[in-house]
Amino acid sequence: MNSKALQIGLAGLGTVGTGVYETLCRNNDLLQARTGIPYAVKRVAVRDIHRKRDVEIDPALLTDNWRELVEDPEIDIVIELIGGTDEAHELVKAALNAHKPVVTGNKALLAEYGGELFRLSAETSTPLYFEASCGGGIPIIQSLQNSLVCNHVRRITGIINGTSNYILSSMERKGISYREALDAAQRKGYAEADPTLDVNGWDAAHKALILAMLAYGTPLSPESIAVYGIERVTPVDFHFARELGYNIKLLMVIRHHEESDALELRVQPSFVSRHHMLSNVYGVFNAIAVHGDIVGETIFYGRGAGKNPTASAVLGDVMLAMRERRHPEYHSGFHPYTKQLSLMPLEDTVTPYYVRFQVSDTPGIIATIATELAKFDIGISATMSRGHEDVEETCDLVFLLHACPWGRLCRALAELGERPGIAPHPAVFRIETLNEEA
């Protein structure tokens, strides 16, 4: 076996890049013993080579020109950790065109350009690895590609954004408001100064797109997914959720409807039964439940973000890339199906619901709401109410509704928003049963 060391080009020395570099050094003996492949980091591309860094790194390794990594014939593998969708896009394309396998953690890049990049990977017979783009250290990508390869994926659901889960966990455990929970998360470093993509659901949505592309072998783009965030969740909703035996989570839902060959693809705050493992995923942890037709239900849990967990995922790919590099046709990669899935419009997706109206505390409101829902053929399984904490003579009125299509519910709620005594824009949560039948 060729014992010449494989040369790694690392683009990006931010948080994850630092974790990757440190681990390659610190756990070098372990990696050598386990893989039998000598490696070296030949070049590290950064934005600013003079910037003071926490990590100890030989300045001679640094360059501020990522093109060096692609153009150096000695570099065997490129790790893309610069982030963003501009230069990273150029870098990945250039590396693939130069037949250098790429390991990336860039979810935004793949959500936007995944179809194009996977196609380029196939055309150039150059593997593109992306474990770190989704679920941090959780080995979901490799599991879907390899271990679970014989399964039709019926459903993938999960909690895949740590910041929003941390905020919801705080709200649940401390009874505080969304704003208070976000502020605390920012102070502790669990939310960024600009937390938009985490709290509006789009970080989770990018990851969902990647998982769906992998599971169904079909190119998707951000237009394909319906996305709601957690900004409107209130402590009152947690109160009712607890009373009813649920917890509140921001859930990604990917579900293949066999009879229509349609793909349901959405991110929405949801009620999850306390008996289900997903309701016990706290703080920055993530969990992804995959239901395959042969394996049944599997759940993967772990840290979905952070320097070292993400570095672990990058290195799992790097080691695989090093082993597969001479025989890229053996990389499982991304093989598009010939099947043409259609996307199920959000309005056609069906679940039960929790709806909380803010109403004036007068008789007849429940009758009004129940009558209107009946006109739309929406069944009611329970109601609960509680005097509003802040507004006099006002009530929080909760309806638990039997399963019906989202579009129908929205039309009914739009009608009800016109009625006296009922505030428009009630809080709505999907209730995810997540049972074995997918």
Q: Supply the residues annotated as catalytic.
A: 207
Contacts of 238 (CB under 8 A, 6+ apart): 171, 172, 175, 248
Q: Which of residues 335-354 bind a second copy (CB under 8 A)?
A: 335-338
Residue among 140 and 346 whose Cβ is closer to a second copy: 140
Give the shortest CB-315-to-a second copy separation in angstroms.
4
3-class secondary-structure state, position 390: coil
Q: For residue 340, how far is the Cα from the chain centroid? A: 24
Give the CA count within 13 Å in the CB-facing half-sphere of 93: 11
Can you give 293-305 as a three-state secondary structure string? Answer: CCCEEEEEEEECC
Task: Note whether 332 binds a second copy by CB under 8 A.
Answer: yes
Q: Which is nearer to a second copy, 2 or 371 (CB)?
A: 2
Contact stretch for a second copy (CB under 8 A) within 184-192, 244-252, 297-305, 407-415: 297-305
Task: Give the footprint of a second copy on residues 131-170 (CB under 8 A).
Answer: 131, 137-139, 142-143, 146-152
Number of residues that bind a second copy (CB under 8 A): 64
Tokens of 13: 């020395």
Asked whether 250 and 204 are in contact (CB, 8 A), the reply is yes
Distance (Å, whole) CA 347 – CA 340: 21
User: Does the footprint of a second copy cover residue 299 (CB under 8 A)?
Assistant: yes
- DSSP-assigned beta bridge partners for residue 357: 397
CB of 147 to a second copy, least distance (A): 3
First-to-last CA distance in the chain?
Answer: 46
Residues 166-225 that bind a second copy (CB under 8 A): 217
- Closer Cβ to a second copy, 184 or 299, answer by number: 299
Q: With binding defined as CB under 8 A, does residue 124 bind a second copy?
A: no
Residue 81 touches a second copy, criterion: CB under 8 A: no
Q: How far is the CB of 129 from a second copy (least distance, A)?
A: 11
Q: Using CB under 8 A, which of the segments 24-32, 78-86, 356-364, 422-430 binds a second copy?
A: 24-32
Calculate ∠ Cα 129-132-133, nearest 5°.
90
Q: Which of residues 308-327 bind a second copy (CB under 8 A)?
A: 308-309, 311-313, 315-316, 319-320, 323-324, 326-327
Q: How far apart are CA 297 and CA 319, in angstroms?
A: 28
Distance of CA 112 to the CA centre of its chain: 14
Segment near a second copy (CB under 8 A); pick from 41-49, 333-341, 356-364, 422-430: 333-341
Cα–Cα distance, 396 to 163 (Å, whole number): 28
Which of residues 235 and 336 has its CB atom nearest to a second copy in the complex?
Answer: 336
Among 15, 280, 383, 394, binds a second copy (CB under 8 A): 280
| 149 or 391: CB nearest a second copy | 149
Contact between 279 and 272 under an 8 Å Cβ cutoff? The reply is: yes
d(CA 21, CA 57): 9
Considering only 275, 345, 414, 433, the residue that binds a second copy (CB under 8 A) is 275
Among 84, 296, 379, 424, which residue sits at the site for a second copy (rule: CB under 8 A)? Answer: 296
Residue closer to a second copy (CB basis): 205 or 305: 305
The radius of gyration computed from the CA coordinates of the chain, to the nearest angstrom, equals 24
- Find out whether 27 and 33 touch, Cβ atoms under 8 Å: no
- In whole angstroms, the minimum distance from the beta carbon of 408 to a second copy comes to 34
- Helix, strand or coil, per DSSP, at residue 227: strand
* Contact status: 273 vs a second copy (CB under 8 A): no
Residues 6 or more apart whose CB falls under 8 angstroms from that of 95 comprise: 69, 70, 78, 80, 101, 102, 126
Chain residues binding a second copy by CB under 8 A are 1, 19, 23-24, 27, 30-31, 33-36, 131, 137-139, 142-143, 146-152, 217, 275, 277, 280-281, 285, 292-303, 306, 308-309, 311-313, 315-316, 319-320, 323-324, 326-327, 329-332, 335-338
